Amino acid sequence: MRAWRSTWKFPATALAMALASNATAADWDWMVAPYAWASSIRTDVRTDTPAVQGSSEMEFKDILDKLDGSLQLHIEGRGDGQGVFADITYLGIADTRQGSFARTEADLDTRLFEAAWVWNPAGHRDLGFDLFGGIRYLDVDLKLVIAPNNPAFTGRVLDVGDSYLDAMVGGRYTWAPAERWRLTARADTSFGQTESSWNASVTAQYRTSHGTLLFGYRHLEIELESAGARTDLTMTGPSFGYGFVF
């Protein structure tokens, strides 16, 4: 596995540049929100030569027992009609399963970083339609061991590790059903070094005296190709956290 420091060097630089570009905007509203994404994770790996297919799927309750590490953090700044945001997700999991035909051992480290500039055509801070554009950076290490139960068949070890940088574009819409409530629906896609990726989420916000309660649901699909192997990564599930506002 690659060192944490080198893995996050590019995303950290991008985050610093995005935030520094608007650091002088004293009238902006800022939120720092640690959160938990209780997602299930599915990985599907395919190779052509030799032809091998492998898959691993874990529900969140199983991930808790196999979690090597986890970090989720959202940072956002909003002014009148524009803003910036950054989102960091890290998950490290390991899983062993005995199937009818083979035993599979999966070790997955996923580091996902997003940063974008936001534009609201109506000039609002937290209402109406937003357009955003930026980057999605993914660093993934996946090792999948397939050991057939029948010794007549040959096993396979798939070791996929690479970084991918995409341009990201999307939109979101925020409603205000009540004074303290906000409801946001978001959809985006990215293109570049991945084969394809898309993301969709719905988030409810409840404003308290000192911050914001956040809870919602998110679905992310990414298709990758590296070292002759094609990997589909799917993460989906509820999220919840608390935003510190200043």
Give Rg (Cα) of the chain: 20
pLDDT (tens digit per residue) in 156-195: 777 777 899 999 999 999 999 999 999 999 999 999 999 9
pLDDT (tens digit per residue) in 80-130: 999 999 999 998 877 777 777 778 777 888 899 999 999 999 999 999 999
Rounded-to-integer distance, Cα 154 and Cα 128, Å:
57
Rounded-to-integer distance, Cα 237 and Cα 41, Å:
9
Beta bridge partners of 107: 94, 143
pLDDT (tens digit per residue) in 10-54: 555 655 555 555 545 568 999 999 999 988 888 787 766 555 565
Rounded-to-integer distance, Cα 136 and Cα 122, Å:
26
Rounded-to-integer distance, Cα 113 and Cα 10, Å:
10
Mean residue pLDDT across the chain: 84
CA neighbours within 13 Å on the CB side: how many for 212? 26
Question: Is residue 148 reached through a cis peptide bond, with omega within 30 degrees of 0 on the bond before it?
Answer: no
- DSSP helix/strand/coil, 3: coil
Rounded-to-integer distance, Cα 54 and Cα 106, Å:
10
Domain spans, the chain: 4-170
Q: Look at residue 64 in the predicted model and tell me its pLDDT.
A: 52
Confidence check: pLDDT of 3 > 60: no
Which pTM was predicted?
0.81
Helix (H) or strand (E) holding 194: none
pLDDT (tens digit per residue) in 135-157: 999 998 877 787 888 888 777 77
